[in-house]
Amino acid sequence: MPELPDILLLAESMNKALVEKIIFDSKVNQPKVLNYSKSTFQKRVKGRCFQGFRQRGKWVISYLDNKWMIAFNLGMGGELRLHWSVETPDPKRERIIFFFENGDQLWVHFWWFGHVHLIKPGNEAKHAQLGTLGIEPLSDAFTSEVLASILQNKKGRIKSYLLDQKFIAGIGNVYVQDILWYARLHPNRKANTLNLVDIERLHEAIQHVLQEGIRWGPGPGEQDVWGQRGQWGKKPGWPQIAYRTGKSCPTCQTVVEEVRIGSTTSYICPHCQS
């Protein structure tokens, strides 16, 4: 599932490729991904043009020239891909297709959990999913003090709160691995046991790892609107510990271990994250 760095890079590529493109028509192969009826969706987008895209948590938010928004959540295995007019989408694979006046097409695909939601002007905060999202971890508002308040009196494991989109939006099980390693925190560590130094180190780790993800991303299996993949795993030292079972920790050379934390897999250095 794409996370904050991947979504941000995707939104940036869509700003370069799709702004001012007029939607000539659309085709809905899977109505279940919509929050409106198929006919209403097609009526609302027909003849409109995209005016901009931004990242919010794990969503791409697009703005239409009629002030409505389309919110894309790619779920698992999702893609938003620009295609030429001569290409033919597979109706069993592509959930929605946007046809533009110049002949280009935007294909929307995901395996499961994906959404393509229309949002009325001014109603983003009322949206069932978007309205519950927590703070953006790369925003100026996300300070170490804010992080401390989020984790205050929380008795569960720290990893669970980092992954909970109601607290911090955009972090998933890919980028959380290096975040916890940089912060020298075991994913099972109870959140209410973190002291001020731990909190400050975790805050710095969150911002550093997400910025590195933007620098070298998109992450594993992700791509921008043109289908370009990032440098995940190609740059030496990136990632530092995620998915590196059996490799040496860059800091202490201890062998990286793979452990089960709740319903998720974690990659840890048993020495640095004891």
Q: How confident is the model at residue 247 (pLDDT cuts 50, 70, 90)?
A: very high
pLDDT at 151 over 90: yes
pLDDT at 234 over 90: no
Between residues 235 and 122, the one the model is more confident about: 122
pLDDT, position 237:
78
pLDDT at 262 over 90: no
Range of weakest confidence among 20-34, 122-136, 228-242: 228-242
Q: Three-state SS for 28?
A: strand
Residue-averaged pLDDT of the chain: 95
Omega prior to 239 cis, within 30 of 0 = yes
pLDDT at 274 over 90: no
pLDDT at 14 over 90: yes
To 5 degrees, how large is the angle CA 70–CA 161–CA 200? 105
Of all residues in the chain, what percent are helix, strand and coil, respectively (each to 5)? 30, 25, 50
pLDDT at 6 over 90: yes
Alpha carbon distance 136, 84 (integer Å): 34
Map out the domains of the chain as residue ranges: 4-132, 144-268
Q: What's the distance, CA 99 to chain centroid? A: 25
Across the range 60-65, mean pLDDT stands at 97
State pLDDT tens for residues 22-56.
Answer: 999 999 999 999 999 999 999 999 999 999 999 99
pLDDT, position 77:
85
CATH of 4-132, one of 3.30.930.10, 3.30.830.10, 1.20.1730.10, 3.20.190.10: 3.20.190.10
Alpha carbon distance 91, 114 (integer Å): 16
Q: Percentage of the chain surpassing pLDDT 90? A: 92
pLDDT, position 245:
95
Range of weakest confidence among 9-13, 123-127, 201-205, 261-265: 261-265
pLDDT, position 76:
87
Across the range 83-91, mean pLDDT stands at 94
pLDDT, position 236:
78
Report residue 72: phi and psi, to 5°: -105, 125
The amino acid at residue 266 is: S
pLDDT, position 231:
86
**How many alpha carbons lie under 13 Å from residue 208 in its C-beta half-sphere?**
16
pLDDT, position 67:
94
pLDDT at 217 over 90: no
State whether the Cα torsion 145-151-152-157 is positive or negative.
negative
In this chain, the answer to whether the domains covering 4-132 and 144-268 adopt an identical fold is no
Residue 77 region, left (φ>0) first, then alpha (ψ -120 to 50), else beta?
left
Q: State whether CATH 3.20.20.210 applies to domain 144-268.
A: no
pLDDT at 256 over 90: yes
Write down the pTM of the prediction: 0.95
